[in-house]
Structure 1
């Protein structure tokens, strides 16, 4: 009697280990067991690492020896494609089809995220490294460029006038864009109708408005039609135009996800429509509105074209936004990079580093304030106080 004849009838026959694993996965004993898609075994990790190393070696051989190709970007792209194909083939040997598709999708998504993260880290690190010779001197933050020329050493001159100009222009732009953006969002969400749909279409179209158009509009309206001089206020108005659709669109999305039960409860307690919006809807959406403000400020503080059109680079400290040109950090960095000397390049990268740090600080501060207010509003209150507040 052969070994095949001695095998019990209820024991499945497997021609290879891969088939045995597939049969074990589909057996009645494991049919109701949920499949783990997040955990990785030792074989899975070895397949991932082996595919990465093998694809790297294969692409290096083809890219540098066999085929007449060159370029780092093409090498990385070809390596990623070869890795995905090789990883799919290795996974298909021991896993069923759904697992193979899941692993391929996971590799593609995680690879794209890794590329974006590496580009972001490289950009920030490169900017800070190039600007380090400038911002390591204290005078870079406490002086302006009125007493220093482009060829002077980095121990002279600074960006004090650009920092103050950016903060003043951004503050005026926020005072203009924030009320208009919130009002527009409340109108689109709470009133709506045919005119509300038209306003939403206009706001969504203005989201992709080039900043150059905003600068040209303010230049034609304030500087040519009204005869105003180039100053920081004109730059702030141009920045507010670029910030307005961002704030309005983001606030509209936040207000639309506020639960309708809160509005109905407030109306049931006798509050008016506008009292409900002011006392219930806006406080509930406060963290999201803070995020909308952050997005608008991030868009406005980094704009260069509107400031370049309606204002101009200045080497002097100016705190009055209604007289004389006012410099800003993006404009200072732009003019420094375009200069022919090395010190101006270093000052330009230093200004870009300060701009990045300012955006990060604003983001952290606003998020902390929104979180503290949300925790304060989450404290239990007597229902009589809520009823009195809603009906008053």
Structure 2
């Protein structure tokens, strides 16, 4: 009987705790106080109000928790509040960017805009579209992917499966250096080669520069995916007498295929918005040019730059620049969604 009463008696080791809704109440109070401080101080920027509210939320969470729950739990709530503030600081600009782009881009974004090119339409006149820019971007990015993806994957396979000694360390060093190379440097490198052979701007030159930027991303992502493959799978295949190259082809690569494809897709999304190499090597073309190996060619990032540069902050060119920006964001978003879908589809299935 006494044992049952002892089990039903509330524990005295559990200290006072704030209710679950307390963080929301502290956040709301911090926001209200921040607005009051901003109005009293003559601060009209909502960004300033938000920063004041964030500081008050962090300080308020720690002070209230230390009074009610103790110093140890207050430190935990302090770390949690800092994480939430950092998360909001990262998300708010992104949401604001997407909101502004959608609000301004939908003005002229329609079927006509997507299926027609600028042609003889002047930048100050309404009309025209981005068909030539979409076609040019798709061709240039596709050619860059065809060049960079196989080279990047094979390089990663060498580094993980065969790489030993000075050559492996040298390749790793140069891949690290190329990861942070500015895009304009890749464009200047291809431009110097073009000048040596007296070549005119054309789409494939931009693809070469984009491939240079894409390769280190593919190498790094593929290398990490290959390292995640358990060594037991390799050893089991080798123990059965399967050659190493066949083990890599039939065991290692299929196991990490989802991650490799995801890395390639993310690398494509990284180069899809590059402007500097295209500006140097492709130049842009208001007319449709479906041949990337001859003549100047349009692309979406270059189209956005040109339209905005000629818009003076308003007019038809300004609206076309925002509509093209929305199209480019949608393209990158679709690539990321496809990468996630492929990664989930190709993820190794674990038995129950």
TM over 0.5: yes
CA distance in 2, matches of 1:60, 1:127: 27
Question: Secondary structure of the residue that 2:259 maps to in structure 1?
Answer: helix
Give RMSD over aligned pairs. 2.3
Q: Offset at 1:119?
A: 1.7
**Matched residue, 1:24:** 12
Residues 368 and 68 (structure 1), Cα distance of their counterparts in 2 relative to 1, 3 Å cut: closer
Alignment equivalent of 2:308, drawn from 325, 337, 353: 337
Question: Secondary structure of the residue that 2:91 maps to in structure 1?
Answer: helix
**Matched residue, 1:259:** 230
Q: Offset at 1:59?
A: 3.1
CA distance in 2, matches of 1:104, 1:372: 39
2:327 pairs with 1:354: yes
Offset from partner CA, 1:59-113 (integer Å, 9 cap, x none): 3344442x56564333322221111111111111221333212211111112211
2:29 pairs with 1:54: yes
Give matches, 1:96-115, under 5 Å: 96-115=70-89
CA distance in 1, matches of 2:198, 2:33: 67
CA distance in 2, matches of 1:352, 1:70: 29
2:146 pairs with 1:158: no
**Matched residue, 1:231:** 202
- Range with greater deviation from structure 2 (302-311 or 54-63): 54-63
Greater RCO (CA < 8 Å, at least 6 residues apart): 2
CA contact (8 A) 1:144 1:315 kept: yes
**Matched residue, 1:205:** 177
CA distance in 1, matches of 2:341, 2:48: 43
Corresponding residue pairs, total: 339
**Matched residue, 2:47:** 73
Q: Offset at 1:173?
A: 0.1
Residues 282 and 350 (structure 1), Cα distance of their counterparts in 2 relative to 1, 3 Å cut: same
CA distance in 2, matches of 1:128, 1:70: 25
Q: Offset at 1:46?
A: 4.3
**Matched residue, 2:116:** 143
Where structure 1 has 5 or more consecutive residues not aligned to the other structure, the ranges are 1-20, 28-34, 36-40, 381-392
**Matched residue, 1:218:** 190
- Quick check: which has more Rg, 1 or 2? 1
Q: Offset at 1:373?
A: 4.5
Residues 373 and 24 (structure 1), Cα distance of their counterparts in 2 relative to 1, 3 Å cut: closer
Question: Secondary structure of the residue that 1:134 maps to in structure 2?
Answer: coil
Question: Secondary structure of the residue that 1:281 maps to in structure 2?
Answer: helix
Question: Secondary structure of the residue that 1:322 maps to in structure 2?
Answer: coil
Q: Offset at 1:213?
A: 0.5
CA distance in 1, matches of 2:287, 2:263: 33
Question: Secondary structure of the residue that 2:108 maps to in structure 1?
Answer: helix
Q: Offset at 1:315?
A: 0.2
CA contact (8 A) 1:177 1:241 kept: yes
2:143 pairs with 1:172: yes
Residues 370 and 64 (structure 1), Cα distance of their counterparts in 2 relative to 1, 3 Å cut: closer
**Matched residue, 1:304:** 275
Offset from partner CA, 1:125-158 (integer Å, 9 cap, x none): 211111111113x2101111003221222xx211
CA contact (8 A) 2:186 2:213 kept: yes
CA contact (8 A) 2:190 2:205 kept: yes
Alignment equivalent of 2:155, drawn from 184, 193, 202: 184
2:19 pairs with 1:44: yes
CA contact (8 A) 1:290 1:367 kept: no
